Chain A
Amino acid sequence: MKISKLKKNTILKNGTIIDPLKNFEKKGDIHIQNGLIKAVGKISPHKSVNTIDCKGLIITHGFCDLHAHFREPGREDKEDLNTGSESALAGGFTTVCTMPNSEPPVDSPEVIRYLVERSNECPIYIHPIGAITKGQKGSELTEMGAMISEGAVAFSDDGLPVSDSGVMLNALEYSTMFDIPIINHAEDDCLKRDGLMHLGKTSTELGLAASPDLVESNMVFRDLELSIFTGARLHIPHVSTAKSVDHIKTLKKKNNKISAEVTPHHLYFIDEDLSSYDTNLKVAPPIRSKDDRSALIKAVKTGVINCVATDHAPHTIEEKEGTFDIAPCGMIGLESCYGAVNTILHHQNKMDLLSVIKLLTVNPRKIIGFNEDLFKVGTPAELVIIDPNQEWEFSKGNIFSKSKNSPFVGKKFKGKVHSTIVKNHMSFHK
């Protein structure tokens, strides 16, 4: 990937600026000087200025992902912070929060410090999420205070649910001192058992061990109640069922610190797509039914779900070549995110572009507490330029992750990232 340093003065000319914070859309230019926003509006042409023609394109805040796995330290054969950054840039993401399930897990201030130092060398902003419990084992709390001082932005045991309700209660209670989000992978292992996919007609036809939607919604319900009881900040990752949506809709009224995300793949695929036993569609939580997918789209449109997060999960070809039972869960998702989400929400479900952009920008930033006013003069430029109507086919050539495990390969999208600006650099993705 070619990432070039911005000239001292760069003007993005004749674009359509969408400000997802102040909710406006207008034609105009953006002047970036020394990597900072200098001016937004009508800018008269200068000499010795690098001008980038943005006619017909949208200029908006760089995307922010709350849920990615960059595998560093420990599994650099799948991804590292540098390749993860390139994958993010290709998807228009300028800020990414990484999950703590590395080897060793991110469960101490020392590992947080290491990741923060490493991320300073990377072309995007990477913020580590720390583990809730030591070793992600679900019993003893990590040193949240010290980890926050080193740069942890949230806490999660990632793919491992905090099964013990008492531990979850303590974690939420403890987190209230710092007012920081707790993110729990909601799957009840006792109900899930050996389930490999969503229980339904398709799983019956395929003969695959399956588990019902309750696996998720039961634990979502528990977590919601615990967050109301403690007043803690709870963020629910990758919501996948209609039942979870119902619980969130009802209970978030009782605690305004509850938020929720959905992945592009749960918005795009349904369980029937697993008929070919494609291991790239093996994810946790699993791809759900058509009705669940409709409920998720509706929840996004009505604001019950606040943001889109990719759950970018790189795995080696060798691992995904195995049979369905032994292949690991997860798919990569940064590069294909905007194309998939814009196709489903904006074009197929008539959600307006501003609202779609909010799901990837101000809404996730608000959940973590990042700066949301990215057009403010003096702010380091973190922007993405997109063409919301460009039709294209997602191919392996669009993937910059070290891993290629994407079921989106070969899918036709409407809406594409044109270029990404962050940390005084710009990358083009035609």
Chain B
Amino acid sequence: MKNIHLLGLKNYPREDIQTIIDTGYRFKEVLERPIKKVPSLQGKTIVNLFFENSTRTRISFELAQKRLSADTVNFSASTSSLKKGETFKDTVQNIEAMKIDAVVMRHPTPGSPLHLTKYIDAIIINAGDGTHEHPTQAILDMMSLHEKFGYLKGLKVAIVGDISHSRVALSNIYGLQIMGAEVTLCGPSTLIPTHAEDLGVKVNYNLDEVIEWADAINVLRIQRERMQGGLLPSIREYRTLFGITNERLESHKKEVVILHPGPMNRGVEIDSAVADSDQAIILDQVLNGVASRMAILYLLLGGKQEKEPK
């Protein structure tokens, strides 16, 4: 692996993404066995540092670590408690002083994983930094697409929903472009970054055109806070314009693969019938999440670079 850390997918080497996906398949095999544990990271200590609530990402990482036989510690802190006294720097330096090998961090502030590299020597894996990146999510999305289609190069992927507030979208944009896929963004104009096209993607506000074009659609969660912020008039209006409804999909004479990073708002951005249909690969994403995170941890912490103890 070219980079020590996994902070984001911007400018990440193509070969390394491919290696992670390929290794992910191997670990997926492990997950199908009756005994789902390998000794690859025995003796390694990993801290899951979550400054923001997370259920599925944290469980996915924790499972991946346990399946690799690493020792794990979970640390959850609300940022409000940090504002009370102890600084970010103190928290992370204290944790590192306990001799750990890697930190998996989720933090509400964009750039905080990069910030962390200034203070500690451990390997850092970004589990989501605010509205910036969520690289492991994008890797599991790409692994799921690769598994479904057999290729990523030339694949047409649409990302539909709240792009502006989505770390999943930005990491997917970077990752998919590196792998040679085409990306179109679709959603209300108030929730698509003004400068989105500067990233090399297309923007289309017409969902029906986007469905016609796409091989796969990654559906993002719509948060109710956006209504209070004056960015959206109502859920009803959103569903009419951008909802991935059964009716809308049936009106197109083609099969399109549906992804969703979760947690889903059934009946808001996606219909239950779509989420539970055969064209959705949402549960494959969950399993691939564990497998690809095992691959990432293994490649960054263990693998061939491991030095013999003196």
Interface residues of A (CB under 8 A from B): 199-201, 203-209, 212, 276-277, 318, 321-326
Contact A207 to B133, CB < 8 A, known contacts A212-B194, A324-B110: yes
Which of chain B's residues 218-262 have a Cβ closer than 8 Å to chain A?
A: none
Question: Are A208 and B194 within 8 A (Cβ)?
Answer: no
Contact A207 to B199, CB < 8 A, known contacts A321-B89, A323-B115: no
Q: Give the complex CA separation of A324 and B198 in angstroms.
A: 23
Q: Give the complex CA separation of A326 and B83 in angstroms.
A: 9
Q: How far is the CB of A335 from chain B (nearest CB, A)?
A: 24
Q: Which residues of B contact A201 (CB under 8 A)?
A: 195, 198-199
Contact A277 to B199, CB < 8 A, known contacts A207-B133, A209-B131: no
Q: Which residues of B contact A205 (CB under 8 A)?
A: 10, 170, 199
Q: Give the complex CA separation of A277 and B112 in angstroms.
A: 9
Q: Which residues of A contact B5 (CB under 8 A)?
A: none
Q: Give the complex CA separation of A324 and B129 in angstroms.
A: 12
Q: Which residues of B contact A318 (CB under 8 A)?
A: 87
Question: Are A204 and B196 within 8 A (Cβ)?
Answer: yes
How many residues of B are in contact with the other chain, CB < 8 A?
26
Question: Are B194 and A207 within 8 A (Cβ)?
Answer: no
Question: Are B195 and A208 within 8 A (Cβ)?
Answer: no
Contact A204 to B199, CB < 8 A, known contacts A277-B111, A324-B109, A324-B111: yes
Q: Which residues of B contact A207 (CB under 8 A)?
A: 110-111, 129-133, 167, 170
Q: Give the complex CA separation of A207 and B167 in angstroms.
A: 7
Would you call B293 an interface residue if the criterion is a C-beta within 8 Å of the partner chain's C-beta atoms? no
Q: Give the complex CA separation of A276 and B112 in angstroms.
A: 10
Q: Give the complex CA separation of A200 and B170 in angstroms.
A: 15
- Could you show 17 A-B contacts with beta carbons less than 8 Å apart? A199-B195, A201-B199, A204-B193, A205-B10, A206-B110, A207-B111, A207-B132, A207-B167, A208-B110, A208-B111, A209-B131, A277-B115, A318-B87, A323-B88, A323-B111, A324-B112, A325-B130
Interface residues of B (CB under 8 A from A): 10, 83, 87-89, 107-112, 114-115, 129-133, 167, 170, 193-196, 198-199
The closest CB in chain B to the CB of A321 belongs to B89
Q: Which residues of A contact B10 (CB under 8 A)?
A: 205
The closest CB in chain A to the CB of B230 belongs to A193
Q: Give the complex CA separation of A209 and B229 in angstroms.
A: 14
The closest CB in chain A to the CB of B112 belongs to A323
Q: Which residues of B contact A200 (CB under 8 A)?
A: 195, 198
Q: How far is the CB of A120 from chain B (nearest CB, A)?
A: 39
Q: Give the complex CA separation of A205 and B199 in angstroms.
A: 8
Of A201, A205, A326, most buried by chain B (CB within 10 Å of CB) is: A205
The closest CB in chain A to the CB of B167 belongs to A207
Q: Which residues of B contact A326 (CB under 8 A)?
A: 83, 109
Q: Which residues of A contact B111 (CB under 8 A)?
A: 206-208, 277, 323-324
Of A209, A277, A318, most buried by chain B (CB within 10 Å of CB) is: A277
Question: Are B109 and A323 within 8 A (Cβ)?
Answer: yes
Q: Which residues of A contact B112 (CB under 8 A)?
A: 323-324
The closest CB in chain B to the CB of A203 belongs to B195
Q: How far is the CB of B103 from chain A (nearest CB, A)?
A: 15
Q: How far is the CB of A282 from chain B (nearest CB, A)?
A: 11
Q: Which residues of A contact B88 (CB under 8 A)?
A: 321-323
Of A199, A207, A208, A277, most buried by chain B (CB within 10 Å of CB) is: A207
Given A199-B195, A207-B131, A326-B109, 14 extra CB contacts under 8 A: A200-B195, A204-B193, A204-B196, A204-B198, A205-B10, A205-B199, A206-B111, A207-B167, A277-B111, A322-B87, A323-B109, A323-B112, A324-B109, A324-B115
Question: Are B196 and A208 within 8 A (Cβ)?
Answer: no
Question: Are B83 and A199 within 8 A (Cβ)?
Answer: no
Q: Which residues of B contact A208 (CB under 8 A)?
A: 110-111, 131-132
Q: How far is the CB of A217 from chain B (nearest CB, A)?
A: 16
Question: Are A276 and B114 within 8 A (Cβ)?
Answer: yes
Of A212, A323, A326, most buried by chain B (CB within 10 Å of CB) is: A323
Q: Give the complex CA separation of A276 and B88 in angstroms.
A: 18
Contact A206 to B132, CB < 8 A, known contacts A318-B87, A323-B115, A324-B111: yes
Q: Give the complex CA separation of A200 and B196 in angstroms.
A: 9
Q: How far is the CB of A203 from chain B (nearest CB, A)?
A: 8
Of B89, B193, B199, most buried by chain A (CB within 10 Å of CB) is: B193
Question: Are A325 and B199 within 8 A (Cβ)?
Answer: no
Q: Give the complex CA separation of A263 and B131 in angstroms.
A: 30
Q: Which residues of A contact B129 (CB under 8 A)?
A: 207
Contact A325 to B109, CB < 8 A, known contacts A207-B167, A209-B131: yes
Q: Which residues of A contact B108 (CB under 8 A)?
A: 325
The closest CB in chain B to the CB of A199 belongs to B194
Q: Give the complex CA separation of A206 and B198 in angstroms.
A: 13
Q: How far is the CB of A169 from chain B (nearest CB, A)?
A: 28
Q: Give the complex CA separation of A276 and B10 in angstroms.
A: 13
Q: How far is the CB of A35 from chain B (nearest CB, A)?
A: 47
Q: How far is the CB of B154 from chain A (nearest CB, A)?
A: 24
Q: Give the complex CA separation of A277 and B126 in angstroms.
A: 16
Q: Give the complex CA separation of A233 and B112 in angstroms.
A: 44
Q: Which residues of B contact A322 (CB under 8 A)?
A: 87-88
Q: Give the complex CA separation of A209 and B115 in angstroms.
A: 17
Q: How far is the CB of A325 from chain B (nearest CB, A)?
A: 5
The closest CB in chain A to the CB of B109 belongs to A323
Q: Which residues of B contact A321 (CB under 8 A)?
A: 87-89
Q: Give the complex CA separation of A209 and B109 in angstroms.
A: 10
Q: Give the complex CA separation of A376 and B287 in angstroms.
A: 82
Q: How far is the CB of B50 from chain A (nearest CB, A)?
A: 15
Q: Which residues of B contact A276 (CB under 8 A)?
A: 114
Q: Which residues of B contact A206 (CB under 8 A)?
A: 110-111, 132
The closest CB in chain A to the CB of B8 belongs to A207
The closest CB in chain B to the CB of A194 belongs to B229
Q: Give the complex CA separation of A205 and B198 in angstroms.
A: 9
Q: How far is the CB of B255 from chain A (nearest CB, A)?
A: 32
Q: How far is the CB of A273 from chain B (nearest CB, A)?
A: 14
Q: Give the complex CA separation of A324 and B108 in angstroms.
A: 11
Q: How far is the CB of A209 from chain B (nearest CB, A)?
A: 7
Q: Give the complex CA separation of A205 and B200 in angstroms.
A: 11
Q: Give the complex CA separation of A414 and B140 in angstroms.
A: 50
Q: Give the complex CA separation of A325 and B89 in angstroms.
A: 15
Q: Which residues of B contact A203 (CB under 8 A)?
A: 195
The closest CB in chain A to the CB of B129 belongs to A207
Q: Give the complex CA separation of A230 and B108 in angstroms.
A: 46
Q: Which 8 A-B pairs have the closest CB atoms?
A: A207-B132, A277-B111, A323-B109, A201-B198, A207-B110, A207-B131, A204-B193, A204-B195
Q: How far is the CB of B197 from chain A (nearest CB, A)?
A: 9
Q: Which residues of A contact B87 (CB under 8 A)?
A: 318, 321-322
Q: Which residues of A contact B194 (CB under 8 A)?
A: 199, 204, 212
The closest CB in chain A to the CB of B83 belongs to A326
Q: Which residues of A contact B107 (CB under 8 A)?
A: 323
